[in-house]
Amino acid sequence: MATTYIHGIEVWSKRTSMETAYHTIAYIENPAKTRNGELVSAFRCDPNSAYLEMMLEQKSYEQETGRKVIVKYTDGRKSYLLMHMRQSFLPGEVTPEQAHEIGRELADRFLKGKYQYVIATHIDKAHIHNHIIFNIIGDEQRKFRQTKYIPRQLRALSDRLCEEHGLSVVVPVEGQKRRYTNEKTTSFRTVLKNDIDRCILEAQDYEDFLRRMRKEYTVDDTGKYLKFRNRLNGQQRMIRSYTLGKGYNRQDIKMRIEAEEAIINPITFSQKLRDIEAMIHAAGYIRENGSDFDRQEKQLKTTIKETKVLLDEMDRRLTYAESISRCFNALDRFGPDSQGGDTELYRSAQAILKANGINPDSSERNRFRSELSLIRSEADQLKDRYRSAQAQLNRVEEVKEISKRVQNDDRIIGERKGGKQHGR
């Protein structure tokens, strides 16, 4: 189980934007709370220079758009520098590593790859919790907008991730459930159709059908239309049976009871063509690669796992190289001799380079730029290898499923994407 919270961070009193960003991120990266920094990671920035990289992103936003990041409103509205998300887990339910992974998934899905962020998992309390600081400015030169819907969207996403990882979920009271969860519920009409189908198969005649339906429904069979209202699931209004589709008006129900059959969607000609097409593709794959699907799956999963390890290491190298490159760019853009000089950004970039033992001269800049180009090329190759292996694995699983259905004489493609099978 995890609770969530999100709020904006304003520029601190008597502090600059740079100082606010530095101390805010330094707090969540506290080594005493993050196992000496092992439980700290970042996206599109390096944890050690994230404050500078976020400020550089904001500086670019101001220069390119002509708008200020921090606006002094006169109507009481607040202007934020950064955003802060917190995700707290039930004591003893997760390990620090698992909490960190769930927090990264939360940030990736919620921010959709548009905003730089730093995530730190704190283990100094009984309840393990994640702190996520992300830039108010995204990669599309747009500011993050905090609305009244954001907290409930974050909460719903966190609950979904907890369910995916086998954790418990915060259960709201009944009156709140439909307001802020994304839980999918079966519609009243679908429930009614299923109950009608069931009672038709069980009923001896029409009167017996009505008697069985009245166990859970208020039934109105006196007027022009046959109508039902479920007394147990919160349905408020009567539903006319003919609106459920073919086979559900009064006369059709009587005929179905006499025939003792249910409405079944027949396999159409186009369905048969899709089945044949799928079989042909599967046969072509088997001729080229054989039918030992378990062995192929095992080999591909091993390849994907090994490539993922290499890709993660390459991402770390790429993030570090890009961060150093941004520091060099900051020296060029905001130095004393530049047109848009910014002493604070310039000195912060110098300090980060010095902390990494890098001399900010031209030879070092050229070396890092060459290294960055090489790392990007290697990363692209690894990504292509990973995507290719993943696509091949999906193909093996698809052909394996088709072969299984053919052996069982089942329909190969159950329905079109987004389609429905009425009466099932």
pLDDT (tens digit, 9 = 90+) per residue, 326-380? Answer: 888 888 777 766 555 677 888 888 888 888 888 877 677 777 778 888 888 888 8
State the DSSP H helix or E strand holding residue 296, giving kind and residue range, or none if neither: helix 293-334
pLDDT tens across 234-288, in order?
788 899 999 998 889 999 999 888 876 545 444 555 556 566 666 666 677 777 7
Mean of the per-residue pLDDT values of the chain = 83
What pLDDT, on the 0 to 100 scale, is given for residue 275?
A: 65
Round to whole Å and give the CA distance between 274 and 383.
32
Quick check: 177 pLDDT over 60? no
**Euclidean distance between the first and final Cα of the chain, in Å?**
35
Identify which of 124, 156, 123, 122 has the alpha carbon closest to the alpha carbon of residue 4: 156
- Fold classified for 2-180: BirA Bifunctional Protein; domain 2 (3.30.930)
Quick check: 298 pLDDT over 70? yes
pLDDT tens across 110-137, in order?
999 999 999 999 999 888 999 999 999 9
What pLDDT, on the 0 to 100 scale, is given for residue 173?
A: 47
